Structure 1
């Protein structure tokens, strides 16, 4: 087998597709391709201290369905599943990030609790979310805000690392300082 074919097979086995496997040992074969369009923001992982504060601020519980729009390596949803027993949905337009997220969730033993979607965050269905996590840019948050308010149920918590939602005042804001660099974390609750 040639090297590119081996790499594709390895990536497909690690990815496991866009639905949760019936068991953690049942990977699905998928074709790996470039994103349909460029991601809205470049990938930058959220520091572990910020992940912990985002989950604490959202008051994540085992009954929650935690979405991460632009999930990167899946660390926020994985932490929600592992530390709080929540279910989660990782959404990223870049299939490489979804492959990485699934692999990380499998390693953490929480893949059966997480759904993985290679989708555009502006197009994905978020109606069943009880918590939505964001680490996007200000203009992306503002473009996303109407979708969040339209599709999410009242009481759904939205947490954003670093960037606010313009004139929508947060319910709470805290500062986390990993490595001495102050990072704001915002919380909103979808109004009734």
Structure 2
């Protein structure tokens, strides 16, 4: 089956990130990455649970922490946890597109829905200068990052316009071209960042992400050399033979 067909076999709530929770170590990495401190007003858009809010308040001492999610059950559950722990934070049940975030200084925004992303980037662009927007894996559309520690990407308001997808891609990877080693390294970083210590299929996920990174880079004309690396060929064959997942057609598009 094609990779898109394989992804369609997975639960929707896994694909859209609804039930994918960042481990606590990732929140700490993100907050250190953006230098979160006592002067910041932190918003977690799509917070789902209390982890990020709790760490921002207890360990980084933010002035204010706000979590927004449109799942009422999760918000009510998170409120009770924070109240029991006597953590002063604001939890709001709302679609993030309708949210009031004008006082934010740091925003964590991890969404894959293009409609939501396009609506929010317009909203972000109206925030006060130097507001920090953190994304994971993917950058804000058409924007050059201000800082990267992959898979964490930081853009500051006002956003810097990328002249092309190639310029954006190379700014994220910090290289002149993408080879197999680069694709594997960054795929592994992503898998480790979002995975829990108990994750059992991290190598499988890393292989898929490596192939996606390299093939996308090839389509954009920023891979190193004209030939397909033997390692890429090997993993494409492994995916086809052992998992019936086809990547070859992507090279022909």
CA-CA distance at 1:64 after TM superposition:
1.0
Partner of 2:40 in structure 1?
64
Partners of 1:118 and 1:167 in 2: CA distance = 30
Q: What is the 5 A alignment of 1:1-192?
A: 41-86=17-62, 87-110=64-87, 112=88, 114-137=89-112, 139=114, 140-150=116-126, 152-175=127-150, 184-191=151-158
Cα deviations across residues 104-127 of structure 1 (Å, max 9, x unaligned)? 3234431x2x11111110001001
CA RMSD, Structure 1 to Structure 2 (Å): 1.8
Cα deviations across residues 8-66 of structure 1 (Å, max 9, x unaligned)? xxxxxxxxxxxxxxxxxxxxxxxxxxxxxxxx752311122221111112211112110
Partners of 1:93 and 1:65 in 2: CA distance = 20
Structure with the higher helix share, 1 or 2: 2
Larger RCO of the pair (alpha carbons < 8 Å, separation 6+):
1
Indicate the structure (1 or 2) with the bigger Cα radius of gyration.
2
Q: How many pairs align?
A: 142
2:135–2:152 CA contact under 8 A, matched in 1 = yes
The normalised TM-score by structure 1 is 0.68
Q: Which runs of 5+ in 2 are unaligned?
A: 1-15, 160-253
Structure with the higher strand share, 1 or 2: 1
1:54–1:161 CA contact under 8 A, matched in 2 = no
The normalised TM-score by structure 2 is 0.52
Q: Following TM superposition, where does structure 1 have runs of at least 4 consecutive aligned residues deviating by more than 3 angstroms?
A: none
Q: Which runs of 5+ in 1 are unaligned?
A: 1-39, 176-183
1:136–1:163 CA contact under 8 A, matched in 2 = no
1:92–1:120 CA contact under 8 A, matched in 2 = yes
